[in-house]
Structure 1
Amino acid sequence: MAQFLQLQQQVFALYGEKKYAQALEVIQQALPQTPDYAARLTDWQACLLCLQGQPDQALKVLQGGLEQGLWFSRNRLTGDPDLAAIQERPELKAILEESERRKQAAQAQIQPKLRVFAPKYFDEKTPLLMAFHMKGANLEDTVPHWLSAVDRGVFLALLQSGQLEGPNEYCWDNFAQAEQEAKSAFAVLKTQHPFNPDYVVLGGASQGAGLALRLALQQTIPAKGFIAVVGAPNPEAFLPHFESAVQKGVKGVFITGDQDRAKPLLENVYEQLHSRGLECRLEVIPNLGHDYPVDMPERLERALRFIIAA
């Protein structure tokens, strides 16, 4: 997992510098060592080839992935502007049709997964942090970013969605399903772990941040607050619930970057809640895009302290 995160950081850095050929070379060298991420890396290869003016080669790479048993996210292939050069091509339509067939077959075998990390010492007074992954991520991607909470004496529970986005990639697209999965997971936690029900915090990144915020404000899960990293839901999704959340003392921490594509939405949500009396904080990090900050452990510690303080 650490190997893939390092690879992703390296590729994204080269992409940001428009060093597409170098990024492509890095991916090609890494593919044999990262089979669990083959579909994602193949997708990135296609993006980089399109950006270098090689749409035919991009399609060949995707078709080669299909031949190896992979399939690809429709949302990503049709929505990523880096793939604009092939999005009207009939070859891509065929790739999408086969990918959808394979996705449906895979989806039938998928169930949500819950993983819990306990601090060294815990009892019925121990806080609980329940966190939700980004769209297109999985448990393994997500653990490193939240694990530092355990060293601070907090139970960490991570939920992987039962909704497939791509191979080894999951999403929270269907909110009703996501809400039910979260409720079921929380019920399991209550029966198996002695955490303090008055000190429950929900966290998430990107799409998972929007889910955490909605569940906290609705009190679907009786949370004391939320931590939203580079993501938030549209205001109409939660405004009907803000008054009761304020009355219950729900707090929130928003973390974004000045290069984050979700920053305008996140700032709007923060203003909507803050102006209505919900106690929350906004952190805007220089040079951070749509990703976790490198100093996530320190920011997580401060956020938890702010939310669970009496």
Structure 2
Amino acid sequence: MKDLTGQQRHAEAYNLITEEGPQFPDDESDVYYLRSCAAARMGRADLAVTLIREALARGHWYGEVFLRRSPSWGPLQGTAGFEDVARESLARQRAASAAARCSVVGEQLGPEPYRAVVAFHGNGGNTRESLSGWREVVHEGRLLVAVQSSQWIARGRAVWDDEDKALRDVREQYATLTAEYALDVGHLIIAGFSMGAETALRMALGGTVPARGFVLLGMAGPRTADPASWLPFIEKRRQSGLPLRGYLMVGANDDDGVRREKMTRLADFLTSHGIPCGLEVLPGHGHEYPGNCLSTVRRAFAFINSDDP
């Protein structure tokens, strides 16, 4: 698909995704988007808009980023048909943003207060993916909480790019959580994947979530490659006087090994500034949740709790 688009063979790309798309029902929204983009590139504005309308009818929608920044949809801007579906799509985005809330699962939790893991999905993800990716923690008798960003870019896909909105979402959802559950803040762990990992670290260092430790998987974001940019956050944590430990995990094949180097530097930097960090490289994995990671989760928790009295 990418090769055909790069070669300006848009009709072939359209036919390919139309034929192969039904094999990927979980990616139906993306299939409609790619078909519409190919149609627009072919000069078929009518077909491009029809496909967006069909996607809306099936419950999908596309946010501001897709609607206004997609190069393929650039020629459609301002046309009556496109603006009609754009209004509907943006209305659904606003409704989804207003309804963002955390999700909670747990089993055999025992008496209150509960030990909990508060998880952050990656960019383009959602709470369902967080609950699936970190599901192993419930086997350790912990409450698993997945925080949902309100920065939706499409149905089922949200990002953490706006730090102020991320802070607001986390504060509101954590307040709701603590109103419903008594948590053991002395053993609260915050976890995150990709950009959600960078967001989780900000929240842990800043005390937005009073975490005892953090577990970061495949961390990505503007600060990941620049450990020194965390100094103001580290200083704020130091002033609180509260202990904090972390555990970083990264796939050996993530970004061809580049992400492993970035996370190694970050782990060393945090450790040298008073926040001990372990690091584990996951063989055979890329930028993904590892699955069946109970042993890895246990090692992370053991490291975080290793200085318990």
What residue is the counterpart of 1:225 in the other structure?
Answer: 213
What residue is the counterpart of 2:264 in the other structure?
Answer: 267
What residue is the counterpart of 2:10 in the other structure?
Answer: none
Q: CA, structure 1 residues 138+57, in 2 after alignment: closer, same or farther (shift >3 Å)?
A: farther
1:122 counterpart = 2:110: yes
Q: Following the alignment from structure 2 to structure 1, what is the Cα–Cα distance between the partners of residues 271 and 199?
A: 19
1:107 counterpart = 2:93: yes
What residue is the counterpart of 2:6 in the other structure?
Answer: none
Match of 1:252 among 246, 255, 261: 246
Secondary structure of 1:173 counterpart: coil
Q: CA, structure 1 residues 57+182, in 2 after alignment: closer, same or farther (shift >3 Å)?
A: same
1:177 counterpart = 2:153: no
What residue is the counterpart of 2:298 in the other structure?
Answer: 301
Q: Following the alignment from structure 2 to structure 1, what is the Cα–Cα distance between the partners of residues 78 and 289?
A: 33
Give, in angstroms, the shift of residue 71 of structure 1: 4.0
Give, in angstroms, the shift of residue 215 of structure 1: 0.5
User: Would the aligned equivalents of 1:39 and 1:65 in 2 still touch at CA under 8 Å?
Assistant: no
Alignment TM-score, normalising by the size of structure 2: 0.74
CA deviations over 1:33-56 (Å, ceiling 9, x no partner): x4xx42134346689x89xxx964
Q: CA, structure 1 residues 240+296, in 2 after alignment: closer, same or farther (shift >3 Å)?
A: same
Q: Output the amino acid matched with 1:104.
A: L
**Identical aligned pairs, as a percentage?**
24
Q: Following the alignment from structure 2 to structure 1, what is the Cα–Cα distance between the partners of residues 200 and 61?
A: 29
User: Would the aligned equivalents of 2:190 and 2:204 in 1 still touch at CA under 8 Å?
Assistant: yes
CA deviations over 1:71-124 (Å, ceiling 9, x no partner): 445657999xxx9xx659735897997776444312321322121113313223
Give, in angstroms, the shift of residue 213 of structure 1: 0.6
What residue is the counterpart of 2:123 in the other structure?
Answer: 135
Match of 1:38 among 28, 40, 59: 28
Q: CA, structure 1 residues 194+61, in 2 after alignment: closer, same or farther (shift >3 Å)?
A: farther
Q: Output the amino acid matched with 2:196.
A: G
The structure whose Rg is larger is 2
Alignment TM-score, normalising by the size of structure 1: 0.74
Q: CA, structure 1 residues 260+61, in 2 after alignment: closer, same or farther (shift >3 Å)?
A: farther
Q: Following the alignment from structure 2 to structure 1, what is the Cα–Cα distance between the partners of residues 110 and 147?
A: 21
User: Would the aligned equivalents of 1:257 and 1:284 in 2 still touch at CA under 8 Å?
Assistant: yes
User: Would the aligned equivalents of 2:254 and 2:285 in 1 still touch at CA under 8 Å?
Assistant: yes
Give, in angstroms, the shift of residue 212 of structure 1: 0.6
Q: Following the alignment from structure 2 to structure 1, what is the Cα–Cα distance between the partners of residues 301 and 244?
A: 13
What residue is the counterpart of 2:53 in the other structure?
Answer: 67
Q: How many residues align?
A: 279
Q: CA, structure 1 residues 175+100, in 2 after alignment: closer, same or farther (shift >3 Å)?
A: farther
What residue is the counterpart of 1:162 in the other structure?
Answer: 150
Q: CA, structure 1 residues 99+219, in 2 after alignment: closer, same or farther (shift >3 Å)?
A: farther
1:284 counterpart = 2:281: yes
Q: Output the amino acid matched with 2:279.
A: L
Q: Output the amino acid matched with 1:107.
A: Q
User: Would the aligned equivalents of 2:66 and 2:153 in 1 still touch at CA under 8 Å?
Assistant: no
1:238 counterpart = 2:224: no
1:204 counterpart = 2:196: no
Q: Output the amino acid matched with 1:39.
A: S
